[in-house]
Amino acid sequence: MTDFATLLQPDRGQPARTIEIVHPDAYEDWLKGQPKRVRAMLAANKVTGKAGNKAILPGEGEEWSALLMCYENVSSPWRIASQPGFLPEGIYRLKSGEVGAAGLGWLLAQYRFDRYAKADRDSGPRVLLSSDAASIDETVRLAQATALVRDLVNTGSSDMGPAELEAEAEKLGKKHHATVTVTRGDALHKGYPMIDAVGRAAAKHRAPRLIELEWGNPKHPRVAVIGKGVCFDSGGLDIKPASGMRLMKKDMGGAAHALALVQLIMAARLPVRLHLLIPAVENAISADAFRPGDVLNSRKGLTVENTNTDAEGRLVLGDALTRAGEDKPELVIDFATLTGAARVALGPDLPATFVNDEALADDLLAAGTAVHDPLWRLPLWDGYDEYLKSDIADLINAPDNGYAGAVTAALFLRRFAPEGVPWAHLDTFAWRPTAKSGRPKGGEAYGLRAAWAMLKGRYSR
């Protein structure tokens, strides 16, 4: 993983190049105050003051500085994210001296996933100096958590199965002195029948399991974080077409978000009693695969008529939500790459967010806006509960009428969420289809910083 701690350092007056940020509306006035050599260079390079323009500004002798035309608000983490790829290696500071949220974009612009192929890049880092030394550690932790999501999602499924998710939880547990327990085999079959049903067709070395991590003082408020860990989703016997299967290595993106969030919680020593739950499975096809029309038992005792084996994520989450509720948490949040319907409605950037508690919804959405990690709330619409009716069981897992797929999936989960407990469900994409500054194509964290900001606001000392 990129060593982000070396890329954002306290400003102690050491020599550094200067980055000057100018708003496009202020460009003409700024330009008038520049030396003739600067104006000539900008004209020769056709810098017009439009947003996104960048230039190296000549100084005296070998001195130079950098210019960035930027509309981004000072609170945006992406304000200078285009700079590291433009500037040569070296040490830089903003002319204003205040880095603020922009430090995160600076770090994430230097993220590289090079597990399988060495990425093209210059030999040295771009170091940014910050006058706000107190915020550096938090910014580095956010970059590390985001990079963890990216790394896990970008990893091919052959190298990221249920066992590898378990290893990631074990690694976090060891680092932060947490307790990790794993349920598998007969214990899973008896205690978590929906997780077992979804994962039982996989090869033995990719067998299903429920991974749990607990950390913190038992006297502190109990918070459960759940992540969907479907390490590859073939669709099961309701097999996906090739186009639908191409990116299904990312179907464990919910687990990646959950691991990253608990990493932030433990690293900051947030005063909570943390409970992480990851139902880790591969939805494979074999003679033992669960079938359309099967009636599944659940940990909660509800029976579920399986109408579509490609609606498996909500099944494994149902058992995990039930388990989380048994220890009486005061808040539950789950992340899942759950429905294509959410992407059709909101695209890749906005996690469809379902919340059963107005105070939690307000806090979560406000946090997302504040940290430029937006969420979009969709309704837990009671009127669509009837779509989950079954003729032979307590409910079905997937209506076939084509309506409100993200909503009905959330309503299914609500049947298993702890009653009377604030609960948020984030149906997130975990993938960026098109690169932006500081945000390469590939695995991506959506809603992670929003959830972390909400938890900090609620539970900071």
Q: Which two tokens stand for residue 146?
A: 């985001």
CB atoms within 10 A of CB 242: 7
- Closest by alpha carbon to 391, among 291, 293, 289, 290? 293
Residue 398 DSSP class: -
Q: Please provide the distance, in angstroms rounded to a whole number, between the alpha carbons at the two ends of the chain.
A: 30
**Site of tokens 């950098």:** 66
Q: Bridge-partner residues for 229, per DSSP?
A: 280
Contact 226, 333 (CB under 8 A): yes
**Site of tokens 């550096």:** 136
Q: In whole angstroms, how far apart are CA 22 and each of 31, 72, 98, 149, 352?
A: 10, 10, 14, 33, 35
Has 291 been annotated as catalytic?
A: no
User: Residue 68 and residue 208: Cα distance in Å, rounded?
Assistant: 50
- Coil/strand/helix, residue 405: helix
Determine which one of 314, 323, 432, 449 is catalytic: 314
User: Residue 312 and residue 339: Cα distance in Å, rounded?
Assistant: 10
Pairing relationship of beta strands 126-130 and 8-10 according to DSSP bridges: parallel
**Strand locations in 268-373, DSSP E?**
273-283, 295-296, 304-305, 331-336, 352-355
Contact 8, 139 (CB under 8 A): yes
Has 328 been annotated as catalytic?
A: no
Pairing relationship of beta strands 431-432 and 442-443 according to DSSP bridges: antiparallel
Determine which one of 54, 112, 240, 456 is catalytic: 240
What is the layout of strands, in order, in the sheet containing 295-296?
295-296, 304-305, 395-396
User: Residue 120 and residue 117: Cα distance in Å, rounded?
Assistant: 9
Active site amino acids:
240, 314
